[in-house]
Structure 1
Amino acid sequence: MSLRKPGIYKTPDELRLMVRPGVLTAEALDAVCAAIRPGVTTGELDAVAEGVIRAGGGVPNFMLVPGYRHTICASVNDEVVHGIPGDRVLQPGDVVSIDCGAQVEGWNGDSARTVVLDDPERPELVAERRLLAEVTEESLWRGIAALAEARHLNEIGAAVEEHLESRGEYGIVEDYVGHGIGRSMHEDPPVYNYRVSGRGPAVRPGLVVAIEPMVTLGSADTVTLDDDWTVATVDGSAAAHWEHSVAVHAGGIWVTTAHDGGAAGLAPLGVRPVAIG
């Protein structure tokens, strides 16, 4: 997906306008995650998300991407991102990553969560996959916490990678990264989930980014499937995907796609988000 190239820093008024689409995105994901269970199709989950966003006065911003006609991406098991919802029936033990976004009054939110379905017949598989999802979410919060103190954007990727390395042998997908967000869902600058050379843009008030680690149980190598959208692991290993949109403002940071601004996720890391005034 191409990136729009405006100035990357928003005004205080623009930051305030980004709160509602973030909250609406969170509400849609709440509803979808509550509906995930064996026997449900990914198409049914898509309808749930669309209903919440439209009822809340928003537009599903994934539908604004040329060629994409759905509200969510639903990526299952070895699918990393961009899975197309349809008639696939969820099974016990599945890893389900839901990526979703809402646009309100021309401003965007973007977030993703991973859910692992229970399977009493395969408890070890479920435990391994739930740990993957847990570690990936932890790495997201490490990246957000790093943003709160960072001078330059690429400190985020170093924090994400450092945490993943501390938790075991996981694959960090490098083919896809986070991004700026604002008037378009995908904007500059790129937000890496791993260490890179160079410091990246300065972190200062007005910066809004979507941080989204994508992590696998095996190789990080990916392939795009025949539908030209779904990205899967080459080796068939399971993947997890977590994402939040985060605004930097004069008072601190605020996770626009978390109902509490990120307070619960950041508290164990000693970071207190501050609401956008």
Structure 2
Amino acid sequence: MTVVLGPNRYGKAETRVVRVTRDGEVHHLKDCNVGVSLSGAMEDVHRSGSNAAVLPTDSQKNTVYAFAKKYGIGQIEEFALLLARHFVESQPTIHHARVVVEEYSWERRGPHSFARSGTETRTCAVHHDRDGTSTVVSGLRDLVVLNSTGSEFHGFVQDEYTTLPPATDRVLATAVTARWRHVPAAGQAQPDFGKSYDEVRRCLLEAFAGTHSLSLQQTLFAMGARVLAEREEICEVRLELPNKHHFLVDLSPFGLDNDNEVYFAADRPYGLIEGTVLNDDAPDAGPAWD
């Protein structure tokens, strides 16, 4: 038997960076969490412990801070591309860079005053190879949505362990995690990531609200399909939709009816629906989703 080194990478996880841009009395805020993972000619460090090919993870962290100062942080995809290209192009032993960024949203409350807005987080993952190829996956998580009617669930398989009754009118709630892969638009080096994010988010919300759902899977497909139908810069959408169950409370012991008015919101256990919607001619994703 021959023992060989398989796929590997190393990096600096969760570098929290807050960038304040001062435009006179008006300040602008970017609050991000950055993760860097690098791979390449790393055989020696694993076999012999030689660090000759290793860029310290502390240096990676410092690069994030320095780039935030030198270049600012605009769209998180652009910042991630800038970092990924730098690591590959500046270090001959690094052949591939993966940079992930989470952005936390703040609501302006004054020229230099802010309040955190909601639980939703914007995300991106960028991969860059030595051959110059880059892939960009944008996304969001914890986008909490609810339809108080317009959802059913019946006709499902029943076995000896089934106790769930069929439902023709139920609450449908979920916390959306969505990721979408970009392809360059015709004649355009890269999309307008800010506009693309806003439009994909709009498509997801409109499809959720506008779909009379017979299953959460049907809603998932409708959400992904709406994005692909309206946004030519997107070729693939991956969705995770936990089913946030709402159960009717039995008010009969108190002599009260409950006509779909009072619910108990359960946090666990929950159903988890996952799926991918893509163009059948979408280019190969490579490591984009990793």
- In proportion to residue count, which structure has more strand? 2
Higher relative contact order (CA 8 A, sep 6+): 1
Structure number with greater Rg is 2
